[in-house]
């Protein structure tokens, strides 16, 4: 927006003279100046007043430079007034901007008295008698207990909308008597809860909210305003600080359950679900969900569980919110309704700038595949980390400065001014509803105790805690104001607090041994049905129909000619000769699921095309660039299909997709890594959420992770998806870990996972291929998709007729099978059989036992892998195979132990791969006569009687 601030000195005088002419007669200046002066009062959103224009008549007798200086001072207060605001409850502002002083602009207080209020412009000037009064109003607004940062927002309509809301006072109207009394009651509940726990459970960790008590009424207000705007779901993410208070008061978790947790009380097995035995996490990590009635609407409020990795729940919450907004039970892309769900993230002031997942989450906020129409961010600003002060934990003035790079409005507010906090909360929701963008509230408070209640903060911050010890609480300050204003009496204010303390005391007294506690939703997980019990085949004629549907193009759509030729080949391979490659089988699996009414969401870096150009789910018109997604237009579809190229992020995107599956478990959600080893950029999500969320929180997910894996001589960073890490984490049926070898297996695997979403949801980790994507050995025939199901172990069909001559069994998994089976050495190794372990976890004991049992002359089993000995599946498989084999020797063939996963030289890779293959096929012992073995009384598997 053009502004007089763009000109200074004589130039400003010349412009003002032109401006006077323009006000008298716009045609008196040329077209360029007309456009410039019109921009002094730009178009604004409906309902927002037009900024005041300074009429030339009121400037008579005043030097133009003085007018410009006054105007500059007013704009400086708007832009930098936050530097002088009273934001901290326990300290004065640091270094206010010198531009806030009149003398910095070459004017005095007397000059401001002589100037008309209209030079200030905007609502602050209305009704003022002079520029001095207008400037005073601006200081009160922009340098009070609220500090606004809007100038980094480049959109002038957004900036003007925010300024008008601030200066008009439309969101800062004083609370009425009933609202003020309700606020005091709420703060009494917040403080009373913390006070009681501090006294009753001395030294127990609770990470109290004290010092930012107004977080609770802020959340109340956000939920109420979101409901008024049409939201049916509000999803909250936060770390430990204040979590118990939020659980109790915002989400309604009963006092009985909270006190019982502090008292170490076990749930009564006769009346409760036993979920506490399942939830193996501390109480300030647990989540809760509660339906609340607000006006005539019911809103479900969810607090997501959170690990000690403070900010990593952020993208999880955003993913949960997107799932609440997506309508997926209809064909085509999901219908997105941004007002149906609202995400709220409560951050720590040290964690917000310190942990990169926050920036990754912000980066997703405006992307079509990940936006939720604006997240409300609240920084619970204690002005300290664990023991670290701001000057040692960030390089910026404010903890919120990261958000400036994403053009997000930031409002700082003094946590002790409870009424101001509520007005800021209303502004945040109003901005989200207007612009569907993120908003940051920097709630500046303090921390009354140490990092936890067992710490002594005075060890490291003695001066800060000397101030805090004598600082009155937020409730006490509000009570004092309300008593002064005659809203309540001192006795009434004290009674509100005592009421809470008495209630908590009654609850604790009632929790005798055997007393029933409120019911908690039960979670259960069994081992799930066996693979063979899940039918995943699709009739061949149906698959042909799906294939034809995917080959249709809109009228006039012209794909890339070369690509269209490749895709057209998919019609030819649907015959008996086969040749359905990996990407084709995947597309057929998706089509069949959509026809079954299962929504599918696929995302990842380059997921639309596929890193290895194997997928091409989104086509681009060669002439216009228009897009067409065949699966979204599939005639047989009964559910939505979505494929999204993700930002170059693993941590936040995996968290987002995980959150999506948690909130909507009926959608098959798939994330594909560009290369499998890039998944280690999401290691916290894998460790803290995917691997352990059920045991910690009873939270399930059916997320599928496709991790390209296989050794083709591409170097250490493009070979290994770190299979060993997933197997090391695997326990208690938490994962399914698969390394399959054919496109038919992949087809059945996806369909099996979709069927298990409702019955036995678990993350599915797929070591997906690279070179096998188009390898003839991995391609399948149509009948293999139309019949059978996923096989956990695939035996050697060629060994059936020579079973009594097989002395060595090679076991392998994934791409190395293609190297082994393609080797010319295989033909001469008649006493060697080759079997594939397609699903590594859960360990397929019965299937492997069946393979071993079918080879009566077996003398050794060799595990063959591409990965180094300390990586891959060997360390996981070895003890389980040894237990299974009991007496039959087991040995390893693969790369030796190494620090890096693979060679950086293609030549060295080829030589090493050849060595492994040769060693696997060569030197097998002569087969033993089965009759002699039986005469000794040996069984087929060692000496175990099967």
**Chain segment 910-940, per-residue pLDDT in tens:** 999 999 999 999 988 887 766 666 565 555 5
Looking at residue 57, what is its pLDDT?
A: 42
Task: Give 263's pLDDT tier (boundaries 50, 70, 90).
Answer: confident
CB atoms < 10 A from the CB of 134, how many? Answer: 28
CA dist., res. 654 & res. 663, Å (int): 14
CA atoms in the 13 A half-sphere facing the CB of 644? 22
For residue 875, give the DSSP letter. Answer: H
Higher pLDDT, 283 or 785: 785
Euclidean distance between CA atoms 412 and 398, whole angstroms: 9
Query: Is 595 a residue whose pLDDT tops 70?
Result: yes
Rounded to an integer, what distance in angstroms lies between the CA atom of residue 583 and that of residue 588? 9
Mean pLDDT of 418-436: 96
Q: What is the DSSP letter of 171?
A: T
Q: For Cα atoms 625, 631, 632, give the angle at the middle one, nearest 5 degrees.
A: 75
Cβ atoms 628, 724 nearer than 8 A: no
Burial of 490 (0-12, 13-18, 19+ CB in 10 A): exposed
SS3 state at 718 = helix
Looking at residue 390, its pLDDT comes to 86
Torsion of CA 759, 607, 627, 593, to 10 degrees: -20
Reported as type and span, the H/E element at residue 852 is helix 845-853
Cis peptide bond N-terminal to 842, omega within 30: yes
In tens, the pLDDT along 304-339 reads 999 999 899 999 999 999 999 999 989 999 999 999
**Mean pLDDT calculated for residue range 164-174:** 83
Q: In the chain, what percentage of residues exceed pLDDT 90?
A: 75
Q: What is the mean pLDDT of residues 765-772?
A: 96
Whether residue 945 has pLDDT greater than 60: no
Query: In this predicted structure, what is the pLDDT of residue 515?
Result: 67
pLDDT-derived band at 25 (thresholds 50, 70, 90) equals confident
Q: Which helix (H) or strand (E) holds 38?
A: helix 31-38
Query: For residue range 113-124, what is the model confidence (pLDDT) as tens digits?
Result: 999 888 888 888
Report the pLDDT averaged over residues 149-174: 89
Tell me the pLDDT band of 470, cut-offs 50, 70 and 90.
very high
pLDDT of 663 higher than 50? yes
User: What is the mean predicted confidence (pLDDT) over 527-532?
Assistant: 50
DSSP assigned state of 81: G
Is 42 a residue whose pLDDT tops 60?
no
Cα 820 from Cα 835, distance rounded (Å): 11
Q: Which residues contact 65 (CB under 8 A, 6 or more apart)?
A: 9, 12, 13, 106
In this predicted model, what pLDDT tens digit does every residue of 341-350 receive, in sequence order? 999 999 999 9
Residue 450: its pLDDT value, please? 83
Q: Would you state the pLDDT for residue 274? A: 41
User: What does the DSSP assignment read for 56-73?
Assistant: GGGGTTS-HHHHHHHHHH
- Angle of helix 418-435 relative to helix 474-484, nearest 10 degrees, comes to 100
Residues ≥6 apart with Cβ < 8 Å to 527: 733, 760, 842
**N-terminal to C-terminal alpha carbon distance within the chain:** 84
Alpha-carbon span 330 to 633, nearest angstrom: 11
* Alpha-carbon gap, residue 666 to 754, rounded angstroms: 8
**Using CA atoms, how far apart are residues 599 and 754, in angstroms rounded to an integer?**
9
Q: How do residues 606-652 score in pLDDT, each as one tens digit?
A: 999 999 999 999 999 999 999 999 999 999 999 999 999 999 999 99
Please give the order of strands across the beta sheet that includes 410-414: 146-149, 410-414, 439-444, 375-381, 341-348, 233-238, 297-303, 288-294
Contacts of 355 (CB under 8 A, 6+ apart): 310, 311, 312
Per DSSP, the residues of 770-792 read: SGGGS-TTT-B-HHHHHS----S
Give, to the nearest 10 degrees, the angle between helix 255-262 and helix 490-510: 60
Give 685's DSSP letter. I
Report the distance separating Cα 582 and Cα 590, nearest Å: 12
Model pLDDT for residues 484-505, shown as the tens digit of each residue:
999 999 999 999 999 999 999 9
Closest CA to 818 of 858, 774, 877: 774
0.85 cut: is pTM over it? Answer: yes
Strands of 486-527, DSSP E = none
* Greater model confidence, 349 or 517: 349
In this prediction, residue 456 carries a pLDDT of 86
DSSP 925: P
User: Are residues 121 and 52 in contact, defined by beta-carbon separation less than 8 angstroms?
Assistant: yes
38 — pLDDT class (breaks 50, 70, 90): low
Element housing 380 (H / E):
strand 375-381
Query: Mean pLDDT over all residues of the chain?
Result: 89
Pairing mode, if any, of strands 335-336 and 341-348?
unpaired
Mean predicted confidence (pLDDT) in 710-731: 95
DSSP label of 105: G
Choice between 19 and 885, residue whose per-residue pLDDT is larger: 885
In this predicted structure, which of 269-273, 348-352, 535-539, 818-822 has the lowest mean pLDDT? 269-273
Residue 563 CB-half CA count within 13 A:
15
- Determine the average pLDDT of the residues in 173-196: 94
pLDDT band at 62 (very low <50, low <70, confident <90, very high): low
CA angle 133, 136, 141 (to 5 degrees): 130
Q: How confident is the model at residue 526 (pLDDT cuts 50, 70, 90)?
A: very low
Query: What is the per-residue pLDDT across 792-847, written as a single tens digit (0 to 9) for each?
Result: 999 999 988 999 999 999 999 999 999 999 999 999 999 999 999 999 999 999 99
Residue 457 has pLDDT above 80, yes or no: yes
Region 562-585: mean pLDDT is 91
The DSSP H or E segment spanning 738 is: strand 736-738
User: HEC string of 619-646?
Assistant: EECCCCCCEECHHHHCCCCCCEEEEEEC
Backbone angles phi, psi at 823, to 5 degrees: -70, 135
CA diameter of the chain: 123
Which value, to the nearest 10 degrees, does the dihedral of the CA atoms of residues 738, 739, 745, 747 take? 70
CA distance 272 to 261: 14
Distance between CA atoms of 910 and 569, rounded to whole angstroms?
32
* Per-residue pLDDT, 212: 96
Side-chain-facing half-sphere of 435: CA atoms under 13 Å = 23
Burial of residue 277, with CB atoms counted within 10 A of its CB: 0-12 exposed, 13-18 middle, 19 or more buried: exposed
Do 696 and 758 meet the contact criterion of CB atoms below 8 Å apart?
no
- pLDDT tens digits, residue range 739-764? 999 999 999 999 999 999 999 999 99
């Amino acid at each position: 927006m053009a502004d007089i601030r763009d000109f200074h000195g004589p130039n400003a005088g010349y412009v003002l003279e032109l401006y006077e002419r323009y006000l008298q007669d716009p045609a008196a200046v040329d077209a360029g100046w007309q456009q410039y002066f019109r921009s002094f009062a730009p178009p604004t959103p409906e309902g927002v007043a037009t900024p005041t224009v300074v009429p030339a008549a009121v400037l008579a007798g005043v030097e133009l430079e003085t007018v410009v200086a006054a105007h500059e001072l007013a704009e400086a207060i708007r832009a930098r007034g936050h530097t002088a605001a009273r934001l901290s409850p326990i300290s004065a502002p640091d270094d206010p901007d010198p531009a806030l002083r009149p003398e910095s602009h070459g004017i005095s207080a007397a000059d401001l008295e002589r100037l008309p209020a209209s030079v200030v412009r905007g609502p602050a000037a209305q009704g003022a008698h002079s520029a001095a009064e207008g400037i005073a109003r601006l200081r009160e607004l922009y340098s009070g207990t609220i500090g606004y940062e809007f100038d980094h927002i480049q959109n002038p309509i957004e900036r003007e909308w925010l300024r008008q809301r601030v200066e008009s006072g439309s969101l800062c109207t004083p609370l009425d008597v009933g609202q003020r009394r309700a606020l005091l009651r709420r703060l009494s509940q917040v403080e009373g809860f913390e006070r009681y726990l501090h006294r009753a459970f001395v030294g127990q960790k609770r990470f109290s909210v004290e010092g930012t008590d107004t977080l609770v009424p802020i959340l109340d207000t956000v939920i109420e305003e979101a409901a008024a705007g049409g939201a049916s779901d509000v999803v909250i993410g936060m770390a430990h600080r204040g979590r118990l208070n939020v659980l109790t008061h915002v989400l309604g978790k009963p006092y009985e359950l909270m006190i019982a947790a502090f008292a170490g009380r076990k749930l009564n097995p006769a009346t409760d679900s036993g979920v506490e035995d399942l939830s193996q996490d501390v109480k300030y990590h647990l989540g809760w969900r509660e339906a609340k009635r607000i006006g005539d609407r019911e809103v479900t409020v969810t607090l997501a569980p959170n690990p000690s990795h403070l900010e990593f729940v952020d993208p999880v919450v955003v993913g949960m919110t997107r799932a609440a907004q997506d309508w997926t039970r209809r064909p085509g892309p999901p219908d997105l309704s941004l007002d149906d769900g609202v995400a709220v993230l409560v951050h720590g002031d040290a964690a917000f700038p310190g942990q990169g997942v926050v920036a990754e989450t912000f980066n997703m906020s405006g992307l079509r595949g990940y936006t939720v129409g604006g997240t409300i961010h609240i920084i619970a600003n204690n002005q300290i980390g664990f023991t670290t002060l701001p000057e040692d934990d960030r390089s910026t003035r404010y903890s919120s400065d990261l958000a400036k790079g994403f053009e997000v409005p930031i409002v700082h507010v003094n946590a002790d001014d409870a009424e101001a906090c509520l007005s800021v909360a209303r502004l945040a929701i109003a901005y989200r509803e207007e612009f569907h963008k993120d908003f940051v509230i920097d709630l500046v408070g303090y921390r009354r105790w140490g990092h936890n209640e067992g710490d002594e903060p005075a060890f490291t911050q003695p001066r800060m805690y000397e101030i805090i010890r004598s600082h009155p609480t937020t409730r006490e300050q509000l009570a004092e104001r309300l008593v002064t204003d005659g809203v309540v009496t001192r006795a009434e204010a004290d009674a509100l607090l005592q009421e809470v303390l008495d209630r908590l005391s009654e609850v604790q007294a009632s929790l005798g041994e055997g007393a029933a506690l409120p019911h908690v939703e039960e979670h259960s997980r069994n081992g799930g049905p066996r693979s063979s019990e899940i039918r995943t085949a699709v009739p061949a004629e149906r698959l042909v129909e799906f294939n034809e549907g995917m080959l249709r193009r809109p009228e006039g759509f012209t794909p890339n000619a070369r690509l269209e030729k490749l895709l057209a080949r998919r019609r030819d391979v649907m015959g008996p000769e086969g040749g359905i490659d990996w990407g084709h089988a995947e597309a057929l699996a998706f089509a069949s699921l959509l026809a079954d009414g299962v929504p599918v969401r696929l995302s990842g870096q380059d997921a639309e095309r596929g890193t290895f150009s194997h997928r091409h789910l989104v086509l681009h018109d060669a002439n216009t660039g228009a897009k067409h997604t065949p699966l979204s237009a599939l005639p047989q579809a009964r559910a939505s299909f979505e494929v999204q190229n993700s930002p170059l992020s693993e941590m936040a995107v995996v968290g987002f997709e995980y959150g999506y599956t948690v909130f909507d478990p009926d959608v098959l959600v798939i994330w594909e890594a560009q290369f499998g080893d890039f998944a280690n950029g999401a290691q916290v999500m894998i460790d803290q959420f995917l691997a352990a969320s059920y045991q910690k929180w009873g939270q399930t997910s059916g997320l599928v992770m496709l991790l390209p894996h296989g050794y083709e001589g591409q170097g250490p960073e493009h070979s290994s998806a770190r299979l060993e890490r997933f197997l090391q984490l695997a326990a208690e049926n938490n994962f399914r870990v698969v390394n399959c070898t054919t496109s038919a297996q992949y087809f059945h695997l996806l369909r099996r996972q979709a069927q298990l979403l409702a019955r036995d949801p678990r993350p599915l980790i797929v070591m997906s291929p690279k070179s096998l994507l188009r390898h003839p050995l991995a391609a399948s025939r149509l009948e293999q998709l139309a019949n059978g199901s996923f096989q956990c172990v695939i035996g050697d069909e060629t060994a059936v007729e020579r079973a009594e001559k097989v002395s060595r069994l090679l076991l392998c998994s994934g791409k190395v099978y293609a190297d082994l089976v393609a080797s010319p050495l295989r033909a001469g190794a008649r006493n060697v059989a080759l079997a594939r372990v397609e699903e590594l976890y859960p360990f397929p004991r019965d299937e492997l036992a069946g393979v071993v049992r079918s080879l009566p002359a077996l003398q050794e089993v060799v595990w063959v892998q591409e990965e180094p000995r300390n990586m891959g599946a060997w360390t996981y498989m070895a003890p389980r195979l040894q237990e299974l084999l009991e007496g039959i020797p087991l040995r390893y063939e693969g790369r030796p132990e190494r620090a890096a996963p693979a060679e950086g030289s293609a030549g060295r890779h080829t030589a090493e791969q050849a060595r492994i293959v040769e060693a696997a096929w060569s030197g097998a012992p002569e087969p033993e006569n089965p009759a002699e073995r039986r005469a000794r009384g040996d069984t087929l598997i060692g000496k175990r009687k099967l």
